[in-house]
A and B are shown apart, each in its own frame.
Chain A
Amino acid sequence: MGIEVVTFSVVNSILYGMLLFLLASGLTLIFSMMGVLNFAHASFFMVGAYFGFEISRRVGFFPALVLAPVAVGLLGALVERFGLRRVHKFGHLGELLFTFGLAFVIEEAVQMIWGRSPQDFQVPAALNFTAFTLFGTGYPAFRLFMLVVAVAVFAALALLLARTRIGLIVKASLTHPEMVSMLGHDVPLVFMSVFGVGSALAGLAGVIAGPVLVTQPSMAAALGPILFVIVVVGGLGSLAGAFVASLLIGFIQTFAVAINLKVADVFGLIGVTQPPAAFGALLSDIWNVSVAQVGPVIPYLLLVAMLMFRPMGLFGKRA
């Protein structure tokens, strides 16, 4: 592997990993505060992209960057207030099933409003230029903008939780809701706000990812599963864990493509150049599988292995 390929891959890994973190941060926030694994999180991401598209074509991209996440956050708060709160009584399984169903409802609603075809959500003109050129390949300013936003979100969330009174109350509400309530805080309001902020972060990721990816109803289903991998690998409820896991997944998926290695090459190293005939057609198919082809599965393999050997994840405190 040449130095160019390595450099490209490192840059691409970081850029992709940061997009994943933007999404996973909201999910992990909701989980760490409320203990709810939100299956509809990627749906809020999709709604964010659609809101961003609608607002940006009326008043521009930068207002949309603020307004769309606020709108998605309000939607999330309403879902918590009138849906999740009622289901909460019946335990975590009820909540899980509730968000699972909600994901389908949101997808269908989006299809009814905007149709099934992709929307023409474009990169804003102010960010539509090449930021820097590396070995002849241009890197768009918009991707760098994405990186900056992701890092800012990470810093802001980490500070909010660790250094402020709000963070203190929020964390206390999860472990000792009765006590916090006795002290005069409105615990249900805290939960609603956390869910709203978590949804708003997904919405923010949607506004930023919409122009880069394809703004269409299936975008939620495409990114949803990988988020769970990030949250589990990073450690359920750990913000720093989600950050590291996002980068890790970014690196894995990018380098899997860059490495030109096939099963045949591995056997070639030990002197076996032909698939053993005894295994027949089955093995000759596997023989030509490249690392790039199995790339998308590696994160899930990691998920399975992590749950088996280190259930609390990389940075998690509890199993």
Chain B
Amino acid sequence: MYKTCVASVLALMSAGVAMAEDTFKIAMIDPFSGPAAVVTERIEHVLRFAVDDLNARGGLNGQQIEILTFDNQMSPAETAIQAQKAIDAGATILQTSVSSGNTFALVEFVQKYNRRNPDHQVIVFDGASHDPAITGEKCSYFSFSWVLNAQMKTAGLASYLASRTDITKVYLMNAEGSSGTTTRQAVIDMVGAARPDIEWVGDDVHPLQKITDFTPYIAKIEASGAQAVITSDWGADLALELKAAGEAGLDAEWFTYFSTGPGAPTAMAQSGLNGLVYSAFDGDAGIQNEELHAYEAAYRAATGGLSASAFPGDTSAIRALELAANAAGSNEVDALIAALEGVSFKTVYGADAHSRPDDHQIISQMAISRFVDVPDGALDEEGTGWGWENVAIIPADVITLPNTCEMERP
């Protein structure tokens, strides 16, 4: 009797373990500490919201999805270490979002791991790092990018500026480092080709996240007579320069890539630059689309006023994963990758999107919007009473660039 009791207890316990083992695990490998943690925090909310919704509808082919989190401390070396831990914990999909350096490290690690462990392969999701090399020279069969890359966004910006013939004097403002310098060159090439009449009245490459006082730069922009500034700055740099521009009463228009990110809306509302700051991004809450507005309303109610549209990659990733798993009828890695290639789905903005099979890059529309003092009751950002007003939707075919990936397929 005693023995059967013990045996059944053991059996029950192992069943419990088996049930916990039985989830489909997605590992977030991102900076959960340090200055970049504010971005990770927002991404985690978006990812969990999408996953909770999917789980409530029965999960992935009947299997519940579980999110594991690993702190890579914003370091590529640590990313590889945490990736091994995530795999040991049973993760099938490893996702990283915040920095392209970490994404490269993760893709490289997974390439090696999958070659050594052909029976237990894993997939990489790139949630937000937006470096064109991820689906270009460093592309991988096992990796999928769920946001438009910087080249595509610059192509979209160039297309919009082609219609803004009133702007002829443009100032370039970028930080040192790979993201700033590659975007700067892309702007000079693409915007320059679309608008050969544009004169570059200034071209500053400033230190990355080290400046506390941007007033000297604003004075330079003012003195140059620029009508517009194009900047790939983000985080504190973007917040401080926009506040300094507002203080000085600079009336140039700002074309930015990262003004939807955490903290930027707060700084823009403080700057008082009403309608002067444009965002060239995958999209924003200002796009007129009922599905988007319903999703945003539900998301804001659940998270206490944060917006989901600032991080589209994670919603896209989960939607694409669900459709791919349904089509494949299996949650096995081989079947999932085959089904993810070319999968068509709708982004958080309600727009059609697909993952290009050649390089696993998401192809979708993008939006140019400007930040304005919105009427009461409209979707605002970070509780500021200010929000996005869409001025142009750039269709997917305009920003689709030729594939540069030479993919090694198993």
Contact = CB atoms under 8 A, between A and B. Distances in A.
Contacts of A135: 223
B162 interface: no
A117 interface: yes
B120 interface: no
A290 B236 contact: no
B212 A254 contact: no
A261 B315 CA distance: 46
B383 interface: yes
B263 A16 contact: no
Contacts of A212: 243, 247
B217 A257 contact: yes
Interface size class, chain B: 35 or more
Given A12-B219, A137-B249, A214-B240, A290 B205 contact: yes
Interface size class, chain A: 35 or more
A119 B240 CA distance: 13
Given A120-B384, A138-B249, A212-B243, A253 B205 contact: no
Contacts of B213: 12, 16, 19, 253-254
B206 interface: yes
A78 interface: no
A33 B184 CA distance: 50
Interface stretch (B33-41, B111-119, B392-400): B33-41
A143 interface: yes
A211 B244 CA distance: 11
Contacts of B216: 8-9, 12, 253-255, 257-258
B223 A213 contact: no
A103 to B, nearest CB: 14
Nearest to A119: B266
B384 A5 contact: no
Contacts of B217: 257
A296 B215 contact: no
B179 interface: no
B219 A216 contact: no
B207 A293 contact: yes
A295 B6 CA distance: 72
Given A138-B249, A212-B243, A222-B212, A116 B41 contact: yes
Contacts of B247: 138, 140, 142-143, 212
A182 B336 CA distance: 82
Interface string A139-162: 110110000000000000000000
A301 B250 CA distance: 33
Contact of B248 (A120, A123, A138, A257): A138
Contacts of A122: 270
Contacts of A255: 216
A117 B222 contact: no
B219 A295 contact: no
A254 B217 CA distance: 9
A101 interface: no
A5 B224 CA distance: 11
Nearest to B211: A296
A117 B219 contact: no
Given A116-B41, A130-B249, A258 B207 contact: no
Nearest to A12: B215
Given A117-B382, A138-B248, A257 B220 contact: yes
B334 to A, nearest CB: 39
A45 to B, nearest CB: 12
Interface string B245-266: 0011110000000000011001
B123 interface: no
Nearest to B238: A214
Contact of A117 (B38, B223, B270): B38
A254 B176 CA distance: 18
Contacts of B204: 292
Contacts of A296: 207, 210-211
A293 B240 contact: no
Interface in A9-53: 9, 12, 15-16, 19
A214 B236 contact: yes
A118 interface: yes
Contact of B267 (A16, A130, A214): A214
Interface string B196-216: 000000001111011111011
10 cross-chain pairs, A with B, having the tightest CB-CB distances, nearest first: A116-B38, A138-B249, A257-B216, A118-B263, A8-B219, A296-B210, A16-B213, A218-B35, A140-B247, A12-B215
9 contacts: A2-B223, A12-B219, A117-B38, A120-B270, A123-B270, A137-B249, A214-B243, A221-B35, A258-B216
Given A5-B219, A130-B249, 18 more contacts: A8-B219, A16-B213, A116-B37, A117-B382, A118-B239, A120-B266, A120-B270, A120-B384, A122-B270, A214-B243, A217-B35, A218-B35, A254-B216, A258-B216, A292-B205, A292-B206, A295-B207, A296-B207
